Amino acid sequence: MYFRSFALLSAVLFVALGSVAAGPVAPVQATSQQAAPRPTISAEPLSDRRVHYEISATLDVETRTVGGTARVVWRNPDRVPVSELQFHFYLNAFAGPETTFMTESGGRHRGFEAGSSDPWGGIDITSMSLFRGDAAQSDLLPALEFIRPDDGNPNDFTVARVVLPEPVAPGDSAVVDVAFTSRLPEIVARTGWLPGPSGRPFFMVAQWFPKLGVYEIPGQRYVPADADRGAWSTHQFHANSEFYADFGTYDARLTVPADHVVGATGLLVSGDADGSAGATKTLRYRAEDVHDFAWTASPEFLVHEDTWEHVRIRLLLMPTHADQAERHLEATRISLASLDERLGTYPWTTLTVVDGLGGANGMEYPTLITAGTFYGLPSWFRPLELVIVHEFGHQYFQGMLASNEAEEAWLDEGMNSYIETKVMDAAWPEGSVVDVAGIRISGRDFHRISYTKNDPSRGALQTKSWEYRFGDFGKASYSKPATVMHSLEGYLGAERMDAFLKAYVAEWRFRHPTARDLQDVAERVADENLDWFFDQYVHGTAVLDYRVDGFSSSRIEDSLHVATVRLHRARDGTFPVTVRVRFADGTVKDQTWRGDTAWQNLTFRGPAKAVEVYIDPDNAVPLDVNRLNNRRVAFSERNNDFAQRGALRLTAFLQRLMFLLGGL
């Protein structure tokens, strides 16, 4: 998911700086999607497939509901019997004003508010039964009990448990049949409906069915290896948290109005996903080795198709953005190629990119992402590209790795934000986010300023999402970890950082890693203990600020001068940095300062008078929150230094102003 401040920043810059519309791109002739041999590139399972869902659902456009049935199969991975199942009913977050989500968010999410005419939604369970091999049914509905493991809110109904008539033996499976009706809210957070450009509703159907939590066995994530038994991990739907589920397979049949264009997780195996004549149509999708299933439908989508290697790309575009098709497709191709090189092969055979509405945009689901743009988006301003790159990155950090976003949001959002900057800054090196009239903002700078603009000491990365103070979640889950990882790259070097990321994804794909697992891989690749780094900047709230307090230069011989540099650690963070002295004849001398003392004097010897001192001259450690105090120049050398510093301060001011406006 992309955090709300960027969407509002887009609007601010558009109004402030004007627009230059991209040239029109004609939509390709839509054709019926042809089934590929399999949903993934592998003939063998990529995950342990603990769950299987068979869903039949019908969209009722008039009532904004999805009625359906689901057969849910759960296999017990533990070494002991398990006596209950736990489910998420995420749509119940929108059941009324007193749910945990609504009280935490105030009905606002990423800058969007709940609608006034029909804001509410939820899931009504009409039957739930245990299917047995002899076809006998055990009614489970009387045993369904809503629980509130995080806050005890009696008005929250997003998590439930059901005690089974008999425990599920190790290795055996429970098969549960559920009938449900999902009431879709007006979109405020990721899911629901909104009127499209013509007034007919657009639907984003996400987190819409009864969804199993994750049963974690001993040794998995933070369950001790010597524990007697595993435990369910099912958190309520909070304003900041996203989702966590097990890998499995989905077989979904969706019945919609015939003229609606549909996009969904997985591979279309039957039916026509494009608009067609008639009253209704039924589409069947198959998805493998995924942890979720989402879909969208609208009669207004323009369909564009493309391919990259083994991936069939399907772009569903609103008609108001018809001239931006190639920008969507180019960003998608760049994302596929870049992450294939950086992190490994994308394992699925389809990818759907949706140009949605409102709060549905800027979100990720397996093999399906929602983008976000506005009319007349100028070519020098790239929020569209940034959001696509970011949401596609989630196909790795969430789609494949599937960390627990409620407990460790930064492992997904933050690691993905770091990769997003690498892709963006490589594809558009002159200014990947903004490049106009000499103002150039890179992806790395975008996140660094976002981290430093508020009190950077607030919010450790390793914090449960609902425990952040107001305003800290976005910084600590997106921009701060991106900046932390860029600084780790500065320490390890690009080659070792690349090796670490590839090893992390290869080792933990489809296995739900933790922060501890990520650090273990980093230390193994670096061949050193990195507690000093992770303790300060992942588990702690250390802030880094080094400054040059002054320097002097004296001649001790005709061709030998000694410079004495006074350095100051202004905050509590430490990080080894390069200190560079430049002498009048152009000679440069470097030393490493560990920065573990409040004050430090360093001496440099050179053939001429020292004229400049620079801490971290290569900008390898963006965690330093104030780079304007990292440099001192001798008075005789200042020339245009005042103008240079003024330009730096102006740029910093503009960036801070844009982020301030974006956060309103």
Could you tell me the CATH number of the domain that includes residue 604? 2.60.40.10
Statement to judge: residues 67 and 130 lie in one domain: yes
Question: Among 537, 558, 591, where does a domain finish?
Answer: 537
Q: Which residue has the higher pLDDT, 33 or 340?
A: 340
Query: What are 169-189's pLDDT values in tens digits?
Result: 999 999 999 999 999 999 988
d(CA 453, CA 274): 45
- Its sign, for the CA torsion 398, 399, 400, 404, is positive
- Let me know if residue 312 belongs to a domain: no
Amino acid at 252: A
Query: What are 574-592's pLDDT values in tens digits?
Result: 999 999 999 999 999 999 9
| Confidence check: pLDDT of 348 > 80 | yes
Query: Strand pairing of 610-615 and 631-633?
Result: antiparallel
Nearest partner of 444 among 457, 429, 425, judged by Cα: 425
- Let me know if residue 124 belongs to a domain: yes
% residues pLDDT > 90 (the chain): 83
Residue at token pair 């772009």: 315
What residues form DSSP beta bridges with 204? 192, 296
Residue 337 — pLDDT band, cuts 50, 70, 90?
very high
Question: Among 512, 537, 562, where does a domain finish?
Answer: 537
Statement to judge: residues 489 and 579 lie in one domain: no
Could you tell me the CATH number of the domain that includes residue 67? 2.60.40
Give the phi and the psi of residue 473 in degrees, each rounded to 5.
Answer: -60, -50
Statement to judge: residues 457 and 552 lie in one domain: no
Token code pair at residue 396: 């790795």
| Confidence check: pLDDT of 663 > 50 | no
Amino acid at 269: V
Give the phi and the psi of residue 417 in degrees, each rounded to 5.
Answer: -65, -35
Nearest partner of 362 among 353, 377, 372, 352, judged by Cα: 372
Arithmetic mean of pLDDT, 103-128: 80
Statement to judge: residues 561 and 604 lie in one domain: yes
**Which residues, other chains included, contact 531 with Cβ-Cβ below 8 Å and sequence gap of 6+?**
none
| Confidence check: pLDDT of 651 > 80 | no
- Let me know if residue 61 belongs to a domain: yes
Statement to judge: residues 444 and 497 lie in one domain: yes
Statement to judge: residues 433 and 477 lie in one domain: yes
Sheet arrangement for strand 577-583 = 588-593, 577-583, 610-615, 631-633
Nearest partner of 89 among 237, 190, 193, judged by Cα: 237
Query: What are 276-320's pLDDT values in tens digits?
Result: 899 999 999 999 999 999 999 999 999 999 999 999 999 999 999
User: What DSSP line would sit under 58-99, residue for residue?
Assistant: EEETTTTEEEEEEEEEEE--SSS-EEEEEEE-GGGGGSSTTS
Query: What are 542-555's pLDDT values in tens digits?
Result: 999 999 999 999 99
- Let me know if residue 342 belongs to a domain: no
Arithmetic mean of pLDDT, 447-459: 92
- Let me know if residue 145 belongs to a domain: yes
Domain that holds residue 628: 546-633
- Let me know if residue 68 belongs to a domain: yes
**Which residues, other chains included, contact 274 with Cβ-Cβ below 8 Å and sequence gap of 6+?**
30, 31, 32, 33, 261, 303
Statement to judge: residues 125 and 214 lie in one domain: yes
d(CA 563, CA 555): 9
Question: Among 489, 509, 537, where does a domain finish?
Answer: 537
Q: How much is the pLDDT for 137? A: 86
- Let me know if residue 570 belongs to a domain: yes
Statement to judge: residues 456 and 475 lie in one domain: yes
Please answer whether residues 632 and 613 qualify as being in contact, where contact means their C-beta atoms are separated by less than 8 angstroms.
yes
Could you tell me the CATH number of the domain that includes residue 446? 1.10.390.10
**Which residues, other chains included, contact 84 with Cβ-Cβ below 8 Å and sequence gap of 6+?**
161, 162, 163, 164, 232
Q: How much is the pLDDT for 111? A: 59
Arithmetic mean of pLDDT, 93-99: 95
Tell me the residue length of the chain.
664
Arithmetic mean of pLDDT, 124-140: 88
| Confidence check: pLDDT of 29 > 60 | no
Please answer whether residues 498 and 506 qualify as being in contact, where contact means their C-beta atoms are separated by less than 8 angstroms.
no
Spell out where 169-298 has E strands: 173-183, 192-195, 201-205, 211-212, 214-216, 231-233, 248-257, 261-264, 267-270, 280-290, 295-298
Amino acid at 164: L
User: What DSSP line would sit under 284-345, residue for residue?
Assistant: EEEEEEES---EEEESSPEEEEEEETTEEEEEEE-GGGGGGHHHHHHHHHHHHHHHHHHH--
Nearest partner of 191 among 223, 237, 235, judged by Cα: 237
| Confidence check: pLDDT of 114 > 80 | no
Q: How much is the pLDDT for 119? A: 76
d(CA 473, CA 241): 9
- State in Å, rounded, how far the first CA of the chain is from the last one: 19
- Across 612-630, b (16+ Cβ under 10 Å) vs e yields bbbbbbeebbbbbbebebb
User: What DSSP line would sit under 533-575, residue for residue?
Assistant: HHHHHTSS---B-EEEEEEEEEEEETTEEEEEEEEEE-SS---
Residue at token pair 């108001």: 320
Residue at token pair 């992450």: 339
Phi/psi class of residue 243: alpha, beta or left (left: φ > 0; alpha: ψ in -120 to 50)? Answer: beta
Arithmetic mean of pLDDT, 516-529: 98
Statement to judge: residues 487 and 567 lie in one domain: no
Statement to judge: residues 458 and 583 lie in one domain: no
| Confidence check: pLDDT of 618 > 70 | yes
How many structural domains is the chain composed of?
Answer: 3
**Which residues, other chains included, contact 470 with Cβ-Cβ below 8 Å and sequence gap of 6+?**
none
Please answer whether residues 269 and 284 qualify as being in contact, where contact means their C-beta atoms are separated by less than 8 angstroms.
yes
Statement to judge: residues 77 and 111 lie in one domain: yes
d(CA 443, CA 393): 14
Statement to judge: residues 476 and 502 lie in one domain: yes
- Let me know if residue 417 belongs to a domain: yes
pTM, rounded to two decimals: 0.91
Q: How much is the pLDDT for 558? A: 83
Q: How much is the pLDDT for 559? A: 86
Query: What are 235-259's pLDDT values in tens digits?
Result: 999 999 899 999 999 999 999 999 9
Residue 107 — pLDDT band, cuts 50, 70, 90?
confident
